[in-house]
Amino acid sequence: MKKSFFAIIFTMTMLQTSAQQTLQKSGFAPVNGLSMYYEIHGSGRPLVLLHGGGSTIGTTFGRILPVLAKKYMIIAVESQAHGHTPDINRPLTFEQDADNVFALLKELEIDNADVLGFSNGGSIAMQLAIRHPERVGKLIVVSSFFKRAGIYPEVWNFIKGGSLETMPKQLKDAYLAINNDHNALKAMHDKDQQRMVDFKDWPEETIRSIKAQTLLVIGDKDVVSPEHAVEMYRLIPNCRLSIIPGGHGEFLGEITGWKEGDKMPGVFVEMVEEFLK
């Protein structure tokens, strides 16, 4: 227990003081008609990071990426219309985004990688494991869902009635710092919103087909209910479940959920490293 406590404190120190993200390479890859932006940090076994809706690599993973890059080769991507990746004339779907990540891994000659996805990125990660199981080693799904009932009704109401004005300012500012095009920002928001409004439940058989060893993580005050997380845990054959104190993205250090001095990102990183051993 003492060893675990001091490990968490050490990880938190690294989170607070590590400004260098060990960026080795960044660029754009041609995948399925899209010019997809990616970054590679660190070295070791590949770990793909998939950000949340409306987000960028930095807004979702900026606080934990430097620590993870000390042990893994991080492949962080930005999905269609997000961050550096331009939009194209195609709606956003989790299935298409998963196929884009698959094509990127082929382009980078990565035969197999572990995958960590947050929120919409968690849905993309699950679809990657479902559609391209040979490419996925271990799977970490954070704050995601597979049926509408898994998200609280008030969240769906907010999504349906949302507008660019109600989008978190931190996410808008981060996008405009990369691409100062307000029309592109609105297009990204509207496509993300429409994807959620149009979402149809995935069959339970599809969730049962996930072969990867999986870790599900949600916050106890997340947009996903604990009951739904348990349902997913029961369906995925080789699965572990963790419910951590915190709201949506808070325990990741995600930009809209981060609270100064919160130690949960350190706990989360240690959990990820233990799971990936």
pLDDT at 13 exceeding the cut of 70: no
The H or E element that residue 136 is part of is strand 136-142
Higher pLDDT, 13 or 62: 62
pLDDT at 10 exceeding the cut of 50: no
| Share of residues in the chain with pLDDT > 90 (%) | 89
Question: 104-156 pLDDT, tens per residue?
Answer: 999 999 999 999 999 999 999 999 999 999 999 999 999 999 999 999 999 99
CATH class entry, domain 28-276: alpha beta
- What's the mean pLDDT when you consider all of the chain? 93
Distance CA 80, CA 38 (A): 11
- State mean pLDDT over 17-22: 47
CA angle, corner 270, sides to 224 and 20, nearest 5? 105
Question: 249-275 pLDDT, tens per residue?
Answer: 999 999 998 778 888 999 999 999 999
Question: 215-246 pLDDT, tens per residue?
Answer: 999 999 999 999 999 999 999 999 999 999 99
**Residue spans per domain, the chain:** 28-276
Distance CA 157, CA 109 (A): 42
- State mean pLDDT over 86-100: 98
Sheet arrangement for strand 23-31: 23-31, 34-41, 73-78, 46-50, 113-118, 136-142, 213-221, 239-247
* Strand duo 34-41 + 73-78: pairing: antiparallel
- Whether 38 and 106 have beta carbons less than 8 Å apart is answered as no
pTM, entire model: 0.92
Name the band, by pLDDT with cuts 50, 70 and 90, for residue 199.
Answer: very high
